[in-house]
Amino acid sequence: TSAETFYEAVGGAETFRRLTNRFYREVAVDEILRPLYPEEDLGPAERRFRMFLEQYWGGPRTYSDERGHPRLRMRHNPFRIGPIERDAWLRCMYVAIASIEPETLDDQHRKALTDYMEMAAQSMVNAPL
Ligand code: HEM
């Protein structure tokens, strides 16, 4: 009887798993982004990102159970993120969003997700060029 969350409306865990997996497959071959990731295995980073997004969009709160308050800008301080890194990150995200079919992610949810990612990526910028 309660209002459906964005998380539920777009297909829940399965959709977030597909989105973050497609995103990280793109990061893995991106020559600007890949060197920023400290670990050789991108699996754990993919899982943290997936848990964060699930929580943000109304799904399970596993991210904060394991990591505490997100404080994402602070957690990105170790990485030099200028407009080039931001744009590379967004390119990977556009590919990931495009990989989710319209039956799962309709225009309205697609726009909400895309707008959020653009806003969030800009908010993570911590360096000029
Ligand atoms: C972690 C890069 C934007 C969410 C990381 C890490 C890197 C990184 C190198 C460390 C990987 C790891 O978890 O071990 C970037 C770059 C961005 C960007 C270059 C360009 C703008 C974003 C945005 C979001 C985000 C927009 C959210 C919408 C996260 C999360 C983590 C993370 C949740 C894990 C934090 C934790 O330790 O719990 N990012 N990121 N990132 N990023 Fe980003």
Longest dimension (CA), the chain: 49
Which residue's CA is minimally distant from atom 29 of ligand 1?
A: 49
Q: Is the pLDDT of residue 37 over 80?
A: yes
Q: Tens of pLDDT along 72-120? A: 999 999 999 999 999 999 999 999 999 999 999 999 999 999 999 999 9
Q: Which numbered atom of ligand 1 lies nearest the CA of 63? A: 38
Measured from the CB, is residue 85 less than 6 Å from ligand 1? yes
Measured from the CB, is residue 72 less than 6 Å from ligand 1? yes
The identity of residue 13, as a single letter, is A
Q: Which numbered atom of ligand 1 lies nearest the CA of 121? A: 26
Using 50, 70 and 90 to split pLDDT, how confident is the model at 16? very high
Measured from the CB, is residue 32 less than 6 Å from ligand 1? no
How many helices (H) and strands (E) in the chain? 7, 0
Q: Is the pLDDT of residue 2 over 80?
A: no
How many C-beta atoms surround the C-beta of residue 86 within 10 A? 19
Distance 52 CA to ligand 1 centre (A): 10
Average confidence score pLDDT of the chain: 97
CATH topology of domain 6-123: Globin-like (1.10.490)
**ipTM of predicted complex:** 0.97
Mean pLDDT, rounded, for 28-43: 97
C-alpha neighbours within 13 Å on the C-beta side of residue 106: 3
Using 50, 70 and 90 to split pLDDT, how confident is the model at 1? low
Residue 14 burial (C-beta neighbours within 10 Å; 0-12, 13-18, 19+): exposed
Q: Quote the pLDDT of residue 110.
A: 98
Exposure string over 88-122, b if 16+ CB within 10 A, otherwise e: bbbebbeebbeebeeeebeeebbeebbeebeebbe
